[in-house]
Amino acid sequence: MTSPRRSLADFVERLGGRVLGDPATTVAQVATLERAREGDIAFLTNAKYRSLLQETRASAVIVGEAEADATALPRIVCANPYAYFAKVSALLNPAQEFAPGVHPGAVVGEGAHIDPTAHVAANVVIGAGAAIGAGCVIMAGCCVGDKVSIGANSRLYPGVVVYHDCVIGRNLIAHSGVVIGSDGFGMAWENGRWLKIPQIGRVVIGDDVEIGANTTIDRGALDDTVIEDDVKLDNQIQVAHNVRVGAHTAIAGCVGIAGSASIGRYCRIGGSAGILGHLQIADNVEIASFTLVGKSIREAGSYAGIFPISKNDEWRKNAAQLRHLDELARKVRQLQHEIEELKRKNP
Q: What are the residue numbers of the active site?
A: 241
Radius of gyration of the chain from Cα atoms? 27
Stretch that binds its own copies, among 14-22, 55-63, 110-118, 217-225 (CB under 8 A): 217-225
CB atoms within 10 A of CB 131: 19
Partnered with residue 168 across adjacent β-strands are 150, 205
Contact flag: residue 228 with its own copies (CB under 8 A):
no
Q: How far apart are CA 245 and CA 274, in angstroms?
A: 14
Contact flag: residue 128 with its own copies (CB under 8 A):
no
Is there a contact between 315 and 309 (Cβ–Cβ < 8 Å)? yes
Q: Which is nearer to its own copies, 72 or 222 (CB)?
A: 222
Is there a contact between 252 and 270 (Cβ–Cβ < 8 Å)? yes
Is there a contact between 247 and 230 (Cβ–Cβ < 8 Å)? yes
Q: Which is nearer to its own copies, 105 or 111 (CB)?
A: 105
Q: How far apart are CA 215 and CA 233, in angstroms?
A: 8
**Minimal distance, residue 95 CB to its own copies, in Å:** 8
Identify the DSSP state of 4: P
**Could you say which residues in the range 59-88 bind its own copies, by CB under 8 A?**
80, 82-83, 85-87
Is there a contact between 296 and 275 (Cβ–Cβ < 8 Å)? no
Q: Which DSSP helix (H) or strand (E) runs through 210?
A: strand 210-211
Contact with its own copies (CB under 8 A) among 2, 38, 97, 188? 188
**Minimal distance, residue 226 CB to its own copies, in Å:** 14
Give the length of the chain: 347
Stretch that binds its own copies, among 9-17, 18-26, 112-120, 157-165 (CB under 8 A): 157-165
**Minimal distance, residue 227 CB to its own copies, in Å:** 14
Binding-residue pattern over the window 190 to 209 for its own copies, x denoting contact by CB under 8 A? x-xxxxxxx-x-------x-
Contact with its own copies (CB under 8 A) among 20, 70, 152, 292? 292
Total of chain residues touching its own copies, rule CB under 8 A: 129
**Could you say which residues in the range 16-55 bind its own copies, by CB under 8 A?**
29-32, 35
Contact flag: residue 316 with its own copies (CB under 8 A):
yes
- Say which residues have a Cβ less than 8 Å from residue 172's Cβ, sequence separation at least 6: 150, 151, 154, 155, 156, 205, 209, 210, 211
* Pairing relationship of beta strands 107-108 and 29-30 according to DSSP bridges: unpaired
Contact flag: residue 331 with its own copies (CB under 8 A):
yes
Q: What are the distances in angstroms from CA 313 to CA 185, 285, 310, 320, 324?
A: 40, 35, 8, 11, 18
Binding-residue pattern over the window 108 to 127 for its own copies, x denoting contact by CB under 8 A? -------------xxx-x--
Contact with its own copies (CB under 8 A) among 102, 148, 204, 258? 258
**Could you say which residues in the range 136-155 bind its own copies, by CB under 8 A?**
139-141, 143
Stretch that binds its own copies, among 9-17, 20-28, 61-69, 161-169 (CB under 8 A): 161-169
